[in-house]
Structure 1
Amino acid sequence: MRSESSRRGRTSTRTWREGSRTARYWDAKLIGWAALSVSLGVITAALVARLVPGLAGALLSALAMWAGVAVVIVIAFRRGRPRGLLRFRSVDLLYAVVFGIALRAVQGWFGMAAGDSGAFPSYPSVDGALPRLWWFTDGVAPVVIAPVLEELLFHGVLLVAVYRIARRGLEGATLALIASTAAFVAVHAVTSGVARWDETVSLTFVGLTCGLLVLLTGRIWGAVLTHVVFNGAWVLLLFVGTLLG
């Protein structure tokens, strides 16, 4: 009886990487819901952007895309909460600073290799002033909202589900990393119009790095914060370039 109780105790504390039953409903059905909801979000966002001009169209388009992603995340966490995935450790902040800045530097090197001048980017101005709601469209949205939603979707829901379906282990981790990175790059290519090779390579590096952080630590927040720092560094460069200009 004692050994049986000990076995149950050990099983109950396993993380999602170790086969915890808390992630048992993050499965192929959830991936199907994710594909459907994100596809509807992408299509709706594209239609709104085409039908509604200007800033209003851009905002509504972004909201449609975020809604499609948010629905998946809500469904996933209603089905289960993989043990360990949402834990936060202070070292996650260190990962974010180191990898976020390194990835932004790599993106800059690839950009220059593709023909960029290497000069600071800057915000476009309208009659000498920044566009309306620039602080949201170019600040809050890419630095706060997008990283949280994207990481929970690609390196939370998708990565964990594929890892479980593939029966864990090195093979499962490899397949989950490839699948989540491919989906991450593909959705950005469709929604952001990524066309240059350096943008594709940079996004691939971001996807691989964030995916590896989740697989190696079992936690999502290192990936989320790395994405935040990566996007935030770009906003900071824009701000500096605008001031210098």
Structure 2
Amino acid sequence: MDSAVRVARTPRWGITDAAVGTVAATILVLLLSAAALRGWPQDPRLSEVLSYLVVWVPLLGTVLIASWWRGAKSLVTDFGFAFHPLDLLWGLTVGVLARLLAGILEIAGYGRLGSAGATFGEPVRDLWWVFAALLAPVLIGPVIEELFFRGLLARAVAGSARSNGGSRRTATALAIVVSGLVFALVHILTVSTPTAAMVIGLSTFIFGAAAAALSQLTGRLGGASVAHITFNALVVVPALMG
């Protein structure tokens, strides 16, 4: 493990902070979903921006508050937000394998590959298209989500388990399972059918658990972030080319 990501002192953030971020994101997502059913907002661009912000703001806000007010004021020290060249190899491997498993689940659930993926209209390829179709789902979203789910949440669960007498192995296992479960639950909040909930829920749990295992193993978020970017890109890029 890199010395840069070793925690220099016991942080004051933990399970409560992770719970606050999760609940806040859940409430905002459900409120936006309810508003959409009533026809607001009518501007599709505003709707898309809000769909990202209701997740990004509470998750990233919780991470920043936890680090700056209750931690070491360093995303590297608090959450392992660091990258090593080996993380590229690990991340690509985990991302591709998780996407292959997700594809198998899609075929089993929908009868065809990719029906759980993103769909896009006629590409305009302006700055908005670059943000909405590429930057937001492939780069910005994965980094923010890894900071929260594998940085704050997984570390909080592991730390809580250790402080309550659990072994390192038990703490790591709990961090992996809880991170994967919460990650999956957040992704099925607005899913409309049981089949989609099953497919998306299992797919995101598998990926979330794998990313958590990778981050726990290396002590960094670099590999998990690369894996998340790869996992999302393998949905978005084929959809854009289709």
Shift of residue 239, structure 1, vs aligned partner: 2.7
| Alignment-derived partner of residue 67 in structure 2 | 77
User: 1:41·1:69 contact (CA, 8 Å) conserved in 2?
Assistant: no
Ranges in structure 1 where 5+ consecutive residues have no aligned partner: 1-12
| Alignment-derived partner of residue 182 in structure 1 | 181
Q: Does 2:163 correspond to 1:173?
A: no
The two structures have a TM-score, normalised by structure 2, of: 0.80
Shift of residue 210, structure 1, vs aligned partner: 0.2
Q: Does 2:93 correspond to 1:98?
A: yes
Aligned-partner residue type, residue 45 of structure 2:
L
| Alignment-derived partner of residue 130 in structure 1 | 123
Residue-by-residue CA offset, 1:99-158 (whole Å, 9 max, x unaligned) = 111221221122112233347978443xxx337844322221110111011111111101
Instruction: Write the mapping of 1:1-245 to structure 2, written as runs, cut at 5 A.
Output: 16=6, 20-47=7-34, 49-50=36-37, 51-53=40-42, 54-78=44-68, 79-80=70-71, 81=74, 82=77, 85-118=80-113, 123-125=119-121, 129-130=122-123, 133-167=128-162, 169-191=168-190, 195=194, 196=196, 197-241=198-242
Report the Cα distance in structure 1 between the residues aligned to 2:114 and 2:26, rounded to whole angstroms.
36
Q: Which moved more, 1:115-124 or 1:85-94?
A: 115-124
Report the CA distance shift for 1:227/1:96 in structure 2 as closer, same or farther (over 3 A). same
Report the Cα distance in structure 2 between the residues aligned to 1:42 and 1:122, rounded to whole angstroms.
18
Structure with higher Rg: it is 1
Aligned-partner residue type, residue 239 of structure 1:
L
CA RMSD of aligned residues (A): 2.7
**Count of aligned residue pairs for this structure pair:** 223
**Identity over the aligned pairs, expressed in percent?**
26
SS of equivalent residue, structure 2 residue 9 = helix
SS of equivalent residue, structure 1 residue 176 = helix
User: 1:41·1:65 contact (CA, 8 Å) conserved in 2?
Assistant: yes
Aligned-partner residue type, residue 184 of structure 2:
V
Report the Cα distance in structure 1 between the residues aligned to 2:193 and 2:131, rounded to whole angstroms.
22
Residue-by-residue CA offset, 1:52-88 (whole Å, 9 max, x unaligned) = 1233222223223211112111112212243671232
Shift of residue 15, structure 1, vs aligned partner: 5.7
Report the Cα distance in structure 1 between the residues aligned to 2:19 and 2:110, rounded to whole angstroms.
40
Shift of residue 23, structure 1, vs aligned partner: 4.3
Report the CA distance shift for 1:233/1:35 in structure 2 as closer, same or farther (over 3 A). closer
SS of equivalent residue, structure 2 residue 98 = helix
Report the CA distance shift for 1:101/1:206 in structure 2 as closer, same or farther (over 3 A). same
User: 1:86·1:220 contact (CA, 8 Å) conserved in 2?
Assistant: yes
The two structures have a TM-score, normalised by structure 1, of: 0.79
Aligned-partner residue type, residue 173 of structure 2:
T
Aligned-partner residue type, residue 171 of structure 2:
G
Report the CA distance shift for 1:71/1:124 in structure 2 as closer, same or farther (over 3 A). closer
Moved beyond 6 Å, runs of 4+ = 119-122
Report the CA distance shift for 1:43/1:71 in structure 2 as closer, same or farther (over 3 A). farther
Residue-by-residue CA offset, 1:211-233 (whole Å, 9 max, x unaligned) = 00011111111101100011112
Q: Which moved more, 1:31-40 or 1:221-230?
A: 31-40
Ranges in structure 2 where 5+ consecutive residues have no aligned partner: none
